Amino acid sequence: MEVDAFRRLFPLRFHERHLLESVRPDARPLGKARETSLALGAVASADGSALAKIGCTTMLAAIKMEVMTPAKETPDEGCIAIDFHMPAICSPIVRPGRPAEAAPVVSKQLSDTIISSGMVDLKELSLVSGKAAWMAYLDIYCLDADGALFDAALLAAVAAFSHLQIPVVSLNEEGRIVVFSKQNEGEKLKNKPVNEEKRKLKLRSIPFGLTCIIHKNYILADPIAEEESIMETLITIVLDSSYQLVSLYKPGGPAVAYESIIQDCIALSRQRVGELQTILNEAICDMEVD
């Protein structure tokens, strides 16, 4: 039987034959992630944006800043709203006109991770206490869904916040916040500035994710969509840039019986954090040079 036909008819047996040799069909070692790339400033009209690729999985993240009235409970804090989109072009299993089942799950996971990690100090988004603050709308679009969607979406989100430049604003005569643009440049000059120039956020404890598949006694890092579809147990580990555990996410599947398996996944995640931190720093340096 030809290899491609065997792979289509018996996908699990096909992958298990490779596992016996401790190698994947794409020639990766079991614990190695796919090639990863980042490009900042992918959307010119956004205040911050990035394009992230992990293998074929591709995510486009864009941030738009808008002025809002802060909640009474948090008068000195802004907000972050996160939405994850999976258009039909990203995967053959996503039907046109129907929402993808994975989209709200990934969206919730991203929101929980970004907020709980403390990466963004919401007080930095405050403009006038109790009156005005920034709302950061983060939209992430999946352009190609080939496994490890959360990992790639989180990387794109982190990179977009690294690229983010908060717009210049001023107070008008009525005491309202005016966002600077070319149309109201003169108005900005004659009114009291809230911030003199565009500024970047100070990011802390940047989170990075690594999804692993547990199959029998094997651990496969950064799975492709085919591996996710035939092997049941997935674990996503999120560590911050200081290698502290932010979250551990296991969406169903058989129970993981051994603590040693979790420890091995965390060890792979620590290695992956170093790789992603280097990739992010290089992308930031490339953007500054340009």
171 assigned to some structural domain:
no
Give the residue, 32 or 181, on which the prediction is more confident: 32
36 assigned to some structural domain:
yes
Task: Say whether pLDDT at 266 is over 90.
Answer: yes
| CA–CA separation, 152 and 34 (whole Å) | 11
- Give the model confidence (pLDDT) of 84-97 as tens digits: 999 999 998 888 87
- Give the model confidence (pLDDT) of 51-70 as tens digits: 999 999 999 999 999 989 99
- Could you tell me the pLDDT band of residue 79, with boundaries at 50, 70 and 90? very high
Task: Say whether pLDDT at 113 is over 90.
Answer: yes
Least confident of 70-84, 115-129, 187-201, 270-284: 187-201
Averaged over 108-127, what is the pLDDT?
93
Averaged over 13-33, what is the pLDDT?
90
Task: Give the structural domain span for 284.
Answer: 32-164+201-289
181 assigned to some structural domain:
no
- In this predicted structure, what is the pLDDT of residue 163? 95
| CA–CA separation, 116 and 44 (whole Å) | 29
- Number of structural domains (the chain) is 1
Task: Say whether pLDDT at 4 is over 60.
Answer: yes
- In this predicted structure, what is the pLDDT of residue 170? 73
| CA–CA separation, 68 and 79 (whole Å) | 9
Chain-wide mean pLDDT for the chain?
88
Residue 196: other Cβ atoms inside 10 A:
8
247 assigned to some structural domain:
yes
| The residue to which tokens 């908060």 are assigned | 166
* CATH of residue 74: 3.30.230.70
177 assigned to some structural domain:
no
- Give the model confidence (pLDDT) of 173-217 as tens digits: 555 667 766 455 555 445 555 555 678 889 989 999 999 999 888
64 assigned to some structural domain:
yes
- In this predicted structure, what is the pLDDT of residue 14? 86
- In this predicted structure, what is the pLDDT of residue 127? 86
Please give the span between the terminal C-alpha atoms of the chain, in angstroms, as a whole number: 52
What residues are paired with 57 via a beta bridge?
A: 54
237 assigned to some structural domain:
yes
pTM confidence score: 0.90
Averaged over 103-120, what is the pLDDT?
94
- In this predicted structure, what is the pLDDT of residue 188? 47
Contact between 159 and 50 (Cβ < 8 Å): yes
212 assigned to some structural domain:
yes
